[in-house]
Amino acid sequence: MDYMLSLAKQIGIEYIYLAINRVRSQKDIEKVESRIEDKEKFDRIFYIPYNEKVIEYEPSVVDLIKENGDFLQVYKQIKEVLKNNL
């Protein structure tokens, strides 16, 4: 992961975000975070909740985004952060 972070900075990517997908519990978050040595290297970490409907709606998750749930809330957070940092 350090190589990717270094490469991103070298090519001028100003902000580095990490999206952790399919999070079912705090235990999932802890497991992933235990494998990330330098969390502070990321400008923001997003935790995308697991939703079994993703499989149902694939390849497009537009219908899932239309639902007002946790998935939509994280999607909105990501969208807002990206919009503010362009």
The strand pairing partners of 46, in sequence order, are 19
Question: What is this structure's pTM?
Answer: 0.74
Residue 85: phi and psi, rounded to 5, are -110, 15
Q: Quickly state the pLDDT bin for 9 (edges 50, 70, 90).
A: confident
The helix or strand, by DSSP H or E, that contains position 18, with its residue range, turns out to be strand 17-23
pLDDT digits 0-9 by tens, 24-71 = 999 999 999 898 888 888 999 999 888 888 778 778 877 777 777 787
Q: Which of 27, 67, 68 is nearest to 47 (CA)?
A: 27
pLDDT of residue 60: 80
The helix or strand, by DSSP H or E, that contains position 47, with its residue range, turns out to be strand 44-49
Query: What are the structural domain ranges in the chain?
Result: 2-84
pLDDT of residue 31: 93
pLDDT of residue 26: 94
